[in-house]
């Protein structure tokens, strides 16, 4: 089981970075908005590296313990990366993949609208590392020719990337640390 607000972890020990309440996401969105409003006068680090592997979300499901998991699969291969995430993030990703409009905008819809309203674009998302059983990601934006790279939970970054039509990548080293060659055996009901 992944890390969730109840503090559970998956048997492999892997979890997504800080599966915390939506308040943390809202604070991250506020920080991104401030960075965009400030004009980001200096170019921040870029997450682009030659060993980034393009992936797509192939599954959003619940494992045998009823915990949501997304599975990323490399576009030109068979390696897969399961990332256990929170329920609201799983619903958000699944609804976007199924092109279902929510009755009200959710936090990821808000983030996408804010990014667009500041004349920025989502360039890409990269799951950058697996450290101490926690996945880390960055959300790369571009505004006025400047690159902005924001730290993010993989689930939030992926949900925003799907809404923006931006590509998703996984660092090759992350695949090396946690890749599967088949779907998780404990995958249960699809979300």
Q: Where are the domains of the chain?
A: 15-190
CB 105 within 8 Å of CB 151: no
> How far, CA to CA in Å, does 108 sit from each of 18, 47, 111, 115?
17, 21, 5, 11
Strand partners, 165: none
**Ranges of H-type helices in the chain:** 22-37, 87-97, 107-117, 154-164, 172-178
User: pLDDT tens, 70-115?
Assistant: 999 999 999 999 999 999 999 999 999 999 988 888 889 889 999 9
The pLDDT of residue 19 is above 90? no
Spatial distance between the Cα atoms of 44 and 167, rounded to a whole number of angstroms: 20
pLDDT band at residue 174 using 50, 70 and 90 as cut-offs: very high
**Short-list 149, 122, 119, CA closest to 43:** 149
Mean pLDDT of 131-159: 94
Mean pLDDT across the stretch 160-170? 97
Instruction: Kindly indicate whether the domain formed by 15-190 is annotated with CATH number 1.10.645.10.
Output: no
**Dihedral sign, Cα of residue 84, residue 56, residue 160, residue 35:** positive
42 pLDDT above the threshold of 50: no
């Amino acid at each position: 089981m992944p890390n969730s607000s109840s503090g559970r972890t998956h048997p492999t020990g892997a979890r997504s970075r800080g599966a915390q309440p939506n308040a943390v996401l809202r604070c991250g969105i506020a920080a991104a908005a401030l960075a965009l409003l400030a004009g980001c006068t200096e170019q921040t680090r870029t997450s682009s590296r030659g060993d980034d592997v393009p992936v797509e979300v192939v599954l959003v499901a619940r494992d045998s313990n009823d915990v949501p998991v997304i599975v990323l699969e490399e576009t030109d291969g068979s390696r897969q990366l399961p990332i256990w995430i929170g329920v609201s993030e799983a619903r958000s990703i699944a609804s976007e993949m199924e092109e279902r409009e929510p009755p009200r905008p959710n936090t990821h819809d808000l983030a996408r609208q804010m990014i667009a309203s500041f004349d920025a674009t989502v360039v890409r998302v990269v799951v950058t590392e697996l450290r101490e059983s926690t996945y880390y990601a960055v959300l790369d934006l571009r505004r006025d020719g400047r690159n902005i790279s924001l730290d993010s939970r993989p689930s939030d970054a992926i949900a925003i990337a799907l809404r923006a039509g931006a590509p998703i990548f996984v660092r090759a080293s992350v695949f090396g640390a946690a890749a599967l060659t088949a779907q998780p055996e404990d995958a249960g009901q699809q979300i």
